[in-house]
Structure 1
Amino acid sequence: MTTPDRVTGSSVSRAGLRFWSAILALAVFLIDVLTPLEGAVAVLYVVAILLAARTNRRNDIVVAASGCAVLTITAYLLSHDLQHIASPALRAVVSLAAIAITTLLALQNHAATNRLAAQARLLNLSHDMIFVRDRAGMISFWNKAAEQTYGWPSDDALGRSADALLRTSYPDKREAIERVLLETGRWEGRVEQRTKDGATLAVDARWAVQHDHLGKPVGVLETHTDVTDRVAAHSALVQSEQRYRRMFDASRIGVVEEDWTDVRAALKALDTGGAGLRDHLARHPDIVRSARRLARITDVNPAMQKMAGADGSSAFIANVDKLLGQNDRSFLGALLAFAEGEPFYEGETEIVRLDGRKVPVLFTITFPAEPDGDRNVLAFVIDITERRQAQDALLAAQADLAHAARVATLGEISASIAHEVNQPLAAIVTSGEAGLRWLRRDVPDLKEVATTMGHVVAQGRRASEIVARIRNFLKKAPPQKDQLQISEIIEEATSLVAREFAKDDIVLAIETEPGLPPIRGDRIQLQQVLVNLLINAGQAMSGQSGSRIVTLRTGTADGESIVITVQDSGPGISPDDLPRLFDPFFTTKHGGMGMGLAICRTTVEAHGGQLSAESIPGSGATFRLTLPFSQQHASP
C-alpha cells in the first residue's frame, strides 16, 4: 500500500510528466498526418493519457484526453475528406473509443487511488504503529507513528521483512501464531520489538488478515501499541507491592489495614447543629462508638495477630471495635484528626486480646491523601508492656529514692520538729502543774481545773497531729490521689521548715491568692516537693550577708491550673548549670545527692503539672510549679 504522491515523487516530477505526455501526443499527431501509415496510429494517444494519469491529477487526465481527441479528429480531417466514409473513418472512431475507454479507466483508477490515499492519511494520523506486510512478511505500508517510534523512515522499511527489521520476540512459536491468524483471521498478543537505536519496546499487537476478491489471504495489517511505560509502571507497582508485603509480613511492629470509607460518609452526613465537631462528639459519645464500628479492618500482619493472640487475620476482618476496649478514648482523637484532614494521629491505648487480657500499646494511624486513601488507612501498633513494666519499676525506684530523700530531709529539719513537738509538751506540763495547784487549794477551783484540763487535751492533740504528720511524711506507701487544698499543703510544708529558717535568719514571705480551687494528688508527695524547694532556697542563701528572704506565692494561670513560685534572694544559678538543674545526680551543693530536683520534677509531672526554674545571676532563683485543678473544678 503506497500513496500516489510517493510514487510520482520518486520517479519523475508532475511537470515533467505533463511535458512528455504533450510531446508524445504531438509526435503521434505528426506521424498520423505526415506518414502514409494505414494503421490506427491514433491509438498511441492512449500512452500519452496514461503518462498524464501518473501525475495523479484529475485535470491532467481530462486535459490530456481532450487534447488527444482533438488531435485525432484534426489529423483525420487533414488526411481525408468527409465525402467518403471508409476504413480511415473507422480507424478514427476506434482511436476515439480507445481514448475514451482509457480516460474512463484512468479516472476510475484516480478515484480509487485517492480513496486509498485518504485511508493511508488516516492511518498516518494514528498514534499506534501500523504497517502492512504480505504473506512473505515483506512490508508494503509503514505509517508515520511507526517511523517515529521505531526510527526507520518509510523508504527504509518498505520491502523489508518485518520480523528481521524489528527483531520481534513472540510469546509463543511463530508457526503457532500464524496458524491461529489464518484460522480466525485475527491475533492479539504482547510482543517485544527493537527500535533502530536498539531500544526494546513492549507492544500490544493486533493482526488482521487481508483477503482478495476470491477470499485468498494476500496480506496482514498489524497495529501495534507501545506499552513499554505501562509495563514498566506495572512491574514497578508489582515490585512495590511485593516489597510492601514483605515489610508488612516481616515487621515486628503490628500493622493493621483499615477501610474508613463508611466513616467518611457518616461524618459528611452528620448534623452538628452549628456546633464544632469536637464539642458535638464530646456531647454525643454514641456517635463515636458508632463510627468505631464503621472502621473495617481489611488485613492484619502476623505481628499484630501475635499481639492479639489470634491464629490468623480472619479473626479481625470485622471492625476496630473488636480490638479496642469499651472505655477506650483514643478513637475520638483519631476520628477528629481524620475529619480535619490531618495526615496522622498518635496516641496510647490498650487493645483487648482474644483471651480478654489487655495489652498497653502505642499507635500511629496514617491517613493517606490520595482520593482512595480512605480505603488504605494504616495503623502501626507497638506493644509497650515491657516499657510499662519498666516505668512501674522506675516509679518504684523513684519512690524509694523519694523516701530516702524524705528521711534525709527529716535529719535536716530535726531541730524544727523538736521545736514543734517541744512546744505542746511544754504547754501540757505547764497546764498540768497549774491544774494541780488549783486542786491543792483548801477549796479546789474546779472551774479553773476544767479549763486547764482542756488546755492539756488541746496541746496533746496538737502534739499527736505533729507526730502523725511527720510519720506520714516518712512512711513508705503507694501514692494516693485525693482532692487537696493547696493552702493546707503550704501550711504543713512551711511548718516543717520554719525552725530551720529561724535558725538561719531566713524570712519566709507567703502570698496566697484567696479562694483557690482544689487540686488532686498525693499530699505527702506534694509536701515533699515544697519542702525540698524551700530547703534548697534557704541553702542557696547560706553564708550570705544581709537580708535573706524566701517568697512563696500562689495564684492561677489560664483558669485551668494553680501556679506556685518559690523565689530566693540568693546569688542565683549559673547559666551553665541551669539546663542541667533537673538531671539526676547533678548537684551544685557540696555533698548533695543530686536527686532532689529530679524527684521533684518527676513527681510534679506525674500529677499532670510542670516544674521549671529561671534565674538571673545576682538576683536569686525562682522555681515555678504548675498543677492542674481537680477535674470537678476545671473550667468548662
Structure 2
Amino acid sequence: MTNLDRPTGSSVSRAGLQFWSALLALAVFMVDVLTPLQGAVAVLYVVTILLAARTNRRNDIIVAAIGCAALTITAYLLKHDLQPIASPAFRALVSLAAIAITTLLALQNHAATNRLAAQARLLNLSHDMIFVRDRANVINFWNKAAEQTYGWSADEALGQLADKLLRTSYPDRREVIEASLLDTGRWEGRVEQRTKAGAALAVDARWALQRDHLGKPVGVLETHTDVTDRVAAHSALVQSEQRYRRMFDASRIGVAEEDWSGLRTALNSLPTRGANLRDYLARHPDFVRNARGLARIIDVNPALQKMAGAGSSAAFIKNVDKLLGEGNRSFLDALVAFAEGERFHEGETELVRLDGHKVPVLFTITFPPQSDEDHNVLIFVVDITERRQAQDALLAAQAELAHAARVATLGELSASIAHEVNQPLAAIVTSGEAGLRWLRRDVPDLQEVTTTIGHVVAQGRRASEIVTRIRTFLKKAPPQRDMLQIGEIIEEATALVARELAKDEVALTVEAQHGLPPIRGDRVQLQQVLINLLINAGQAMSGQPGSRTITLRVGSEDGETLAIMVQDSGPGIQPDDLPRLFDPFFTTKDGGMGMGLAICRTTVEAHGGRLSVASTPGSGTTFHLTLPLSQEHALP
C-alpha cells in the first residue's frame, strides 16, 4: 500500500511515459510489419498500454489503446492485405482482444486508484492525525494533520515503525491491546507520544483493524486526537479543586457553600424592587423566614461545624434555623444586598450553638456574578469571642485608667490649690506678725499698723479670688477675660512680692516700655504667673553670696505680641533638668511641690501665649513669657 494522496509522477515524468509509450508502439509496429515473424507480435502493444497507464491519466490509456489497435490493423493490412488468411487474421484478433482487455483492466485500475486518492484526500482534510500501518507496524499512509502535529513529513514517516517513530507509551501492555484489537476489530484509549521536536503529546487513539477478503488482518487504521491542552486543563482543574478542598477543610475560618438560586427566583417574584425592598421585607417577616429555607447549604467545613457544636455537616444543615436564632436581622440585610446585586456583604451577628451558647461572629458573604446562576455563594465566619472578651477587658481597663486619671487630677488640683493659696496665706501671716510688732511698741505706730492691716486684707482678698477662680474652673464656667494694662498687673505683682524679696535681700529692677497696649485675660491668673516667676527667682538666689538681682523687662514684639522677661543672677539650672522643668511635681527646691511652673505654663498657654526658659549654670536663669496683644489696640 502506498501513500495515495501523492500523485504518481510529475508533469515531466508523465511526458516521458507518453514518449516511451509511443516509441514502444512504433517499434512493435515496425517489427510486426518488417519482420517475417508469424507470431502475434501485436500482443506486445499490451506493454504500451500498461506504460501509458502509469501516467494515471484516463485519456492517455484510451489514446494508447486506440493507437495500438489502429497500428495492429494497419500492420495486418500492410502485411496480409485482405486475403482471407485464417491464421494471421486469428492472430490479429487475439492481439486486438488483448489490447481491449488490457485497456479495460487499466481503466478499472485507474478508477479504483482515483477512488482511493479521493478517500486519501478526505483523510488529509481531517483535523485528526491519521496513519495506516501494516501488521508489522510499518507506516504506509501518513496524512497532513499527522505531518503538521508530529513534525515528520510523509516521506520521512512512510516505512518507519510507528511505535519507534512516535515513542508511544500505552496505558496497558501492548500484547493485551493487540489481543483486544484482534478480538473486537477496534481499540480506543489514551496514549502518550512524542513529536519530532521531542514534545510530549497526550492523544486519544482509535484503532480499526483492516482485513482482506479472506478475513485475514492486513493493516490497522489509527486515528489520533490531540488532547494535550484538554488533559492539562483537566489536570489544572483537578489540582485547583484539590487545593480548594484542602483550604476549605483545613481553614480555621468557618466556611459554608450555599446555593441561592431559589432565593433569586423568590426575590424576582416580589412586587417591589430597589429602595423599597428593605421596607417590604421588614413588613413581611414570613417571607424572610421562608427565604432561609431557600438558601440551600451545599457544604460546611469542619471549622464551622466545630464553631456550631455540630458533629457533621448533616447535623449543621439539619439545625441551621436554630443556629441563626429568632429575630436575627443579619439575614435580612444579606438578602437586600443580594437583591441589589452587591458582590460582598459583611456583618456581625451571634451564632447559637447546638448546646445553646451564643458565639459572637463576623461574617462575609461573597455573591457570584448573576451569570453563574447563584450556585456558589460562599459565607466566611470568624469567631470573635476572644476579641469580644479583649474588648470587654479593654473597656474595664479604660474605666480603671479613667478612675486613676480622676484621682491623679484631684491630686494635682489639691496641690495647685495648696500652692496658689499658700502664698497669700504666708503674706497674711507675715503682715499680721509685723502689725503685732508695731502694736507692742511702747508707743504703737498706728500708721504702720494701718498699712499692715491693709496688706492683710489685700492678701485675704487675693486668696479669696484664687479660690473663686478654682471653683469657676470646676464648674466649667467660661474663663474671665478682661482688658488689662500690663503695667498695673506688674505693679500689683511686684508690690505683693516686695516683702518676700526684701527678706532674701533681692533687688528687683523693672524695665517697662511706655505706652504698651492692653491685653485680654484674667487679672488674678496673670498676677499669679508673675508672682510665681519672681518668687522662684528670689528663692533660687536665697543664701547666695554677692549681689542678688532680678530684672523684669516688658516690651512689644512685632506689634502683635507682648514680651515679658524675668532674669535673675542666680546659679542657673542644670542642663539635665531643663527638659522636665515644666512637668507637674518636678522640682529642684527642697520641700517644693513642683506645681508652680506647670501651672504658670498652663495659664500662659490658656491665654494664647508661650512660656520658655533659658539657663546657663552659674550665669542665672531667664524666663521668657509672650502674650498676644488685644487686636482692638494693637500697635500700628
Tell me the secondary structure at the aligned position of residue 354 of structure 2.
coil
| Preserved CA contact (<8 Å) 2:308 2:316 | no
The correspondence of residues 234-633 of structure 1 with structure 2, limited to 5 A, is: 234-272=234-272, 276-317=276-317, 321-369=321-369, 371-372=371-372, 374-404=374-404, 499-501=475-477, 504-505=480-481, 545-546=519-520, 591=584
1:279 to 1:499, Cα distance in 2 relative to 1, 3 A: closer
1:2 to 1:271, Cα distance in 2 relative to 1, 3 A: farther
Distance 1:394 1:81 in 2: 136
Alignment partner, residue 56 of structure 1: 56
The correspondence of residues 63-212 of structure 1 with structure 2, limited to 5 A, is: 63-212=63-212
Residue identity matched to 2:146 = A
1:500 to 1:337, Cα distance in 2 relative to 1, 3 A: closer
Alignment partner, residue 502 of structure 2: none
Give the unaligned 5+ runs of structure 2: 415-470, 484-517, 523-560, 562-581, 586-607, 609-627, 629-636
Is the deviation greater in 28-37 or in 174-183?
28-37
Distance 2:370 2:95 in 1: 80
Q: Does 1:21 align with 2:47?
A: no
Distance 1:175 1:235 in 2: 29
Q: Does 1:216 align with 2:213?
A: no
Distance 1:319 1:115 in 2: 73
Distance 2:295 2:82 in 1: 107
Distance 2:132 2:158 in 1: 9
Distance 2:386 2:159 in 1: 78
1:4 to 1:246, Cα distance in 2 relative to 1, 3 A: closer
Give the unaligned 5+ runs of structure 1: 415-494, 508-543, 549-570, 572-588, 593-614, 621-636
1:68 to 1:296, Cα distance in 2 relative to 1, 3 A: same
1:591 to 1:303, Cα distance in 2 relative to 1, 3 A: farther
| Preserved CA contact (<8 Å) 1:292 1:319 | no
| C-alpha displacement of 1:157 | 0.8
| Preserved CA contact (<8 Å) 1:413 1:499 | no
1:249 to 1:275, Cα distance in 2 relative to 1, 3 A: closer
Q: Deviations over 1:508-558 (max 9, x none)?
A: xxxxxxxxxxxxxxxxxxxxxxxxxxxxxxxxxxxx94279xxxxxxxxxx
| C-alpha displacement of 1:372 | 3.4
1:180 to 1:12, Cα distance in 2 relative to 1, 3 A: farther
Alignment partner, residue 591 of structure 2: none
Distance 1:304 1:74 in 2: 106
| C-alpha displacement of 1:9 | 2.7
Q: Deviations over 1:299-337 (max 9, x none)?
A: 111111111111111212358534312222122232233
Count of matched residue positions in the alignment of Structure 1 and Structure 2 = 448
| Preserved CA contact (<8 Å) 1:297 1:319 | no
Distance 1:11 1:174 in 2: 45
Q: Deviations over 1:180-227 (max 9, x none)?
A: 110111111111111111111111111111111111111111111111
Tell me the secondary structure at the aligned position of residue 477 of structure 2.
helix
Distance 2:233 2:276 in 1: 44
1:506 to 1:188, Cα distance in 2 relative to 1, 3 A: farther
Tell me the secondary structure at the aligned position of residue 28 of structure 1.
helix
1:340 to 1:85, Cα distance in 2 relative to 1, 3 A: farther
| C-alpha displacement of 1:362 | 0.7
| C-alpha displacement of 1:10 | 7.5
| C-alpha displacement of 1:403 | 4.4
Residue identity matched to 1:65 = A
1:506 to 1:113, Cα distance in 2 relative to 1, 3 A: farther
Distance 1:277 1:49 in 2: 93
Distance 1:79 1:96 in 2: 16
Tell me the secondary structure at the aligned position of residue 218 of structure 1.
strand
| C-alpha displacement of 1:294 | 0.9
Distance 1:405 1:126 in 2: 89
Residue identity matched to 1:32 = D
Distance 1:319 1:165 in 2: 63
| Preserved CA contact (<8 Å) 1:297 1:318 | no
| Preserved CA contact (<8 Å) 1:203 1:228 | yes
Alignment partner, residue 434 of structure 1: none
1:304 to 1:499, Cα distance in 2 relative to 1, 3 A: closer
| C-alpha displacement of 1:284 | 2.7
Distance 1:130 1:319 in 2: 59
TM-score, normalization: structure 2?
0.64
| Preserved CA contact (<8 Å) 1:130 1:142 | yes
| Preserved CA contact (<8 Å) 2:5 2:121 | no
The correspondence of residues 30-45 of structure 1 with structure 2, limited to 5 A, is: 30-45=30-45
1:249 to 1:47, Cα distance in 2 relative to 1, 3 A: same
Distance 2:32 2:584 in 1: 141
| C-alpha displacement of 1:264 | 2.0
Is the deviation greater in 305-314 or in 405-414?
405-414
Residue identity matched to 1:352 = V
1:320 to 1:38, Cα distance in 2 relative to 1, 3 A: farther
Distance 1:192 1:273 in 2: 57
Distance 1:94 1:502 in 2: 145
| C-alpha displacement of 1:286 | 2.7
1:59 to 1:10, Cα distance in 2 relative to 1, 3 A: closer
Distance 2:320 2:24 in 1: 95
Tell me the secondary structure at the aligned position of residue 381 of structure 2.
strand
| C-alpha displacement of 1:147 | 0.9
| Preserved CA contact (<8 Å) 1:295 1:320 | no
- Identity value in percent: 78
TM-score, normalization: structure 1?
0.64
Distance 1:225 1:120 in 2: 18
Q: Does 1:232 align with 2:258?
A: no
| Preserved CA contact (<8 Å) 2:203 2:224 | yes
| Preserved CA contact (<8 Å) 1:362 1:381 | yes
| C-alpha displacement of 1:263 | 1.6
Distance 1:129 1:182 in 2: 22
| C-alpha displacement of 1:89 | 1.4
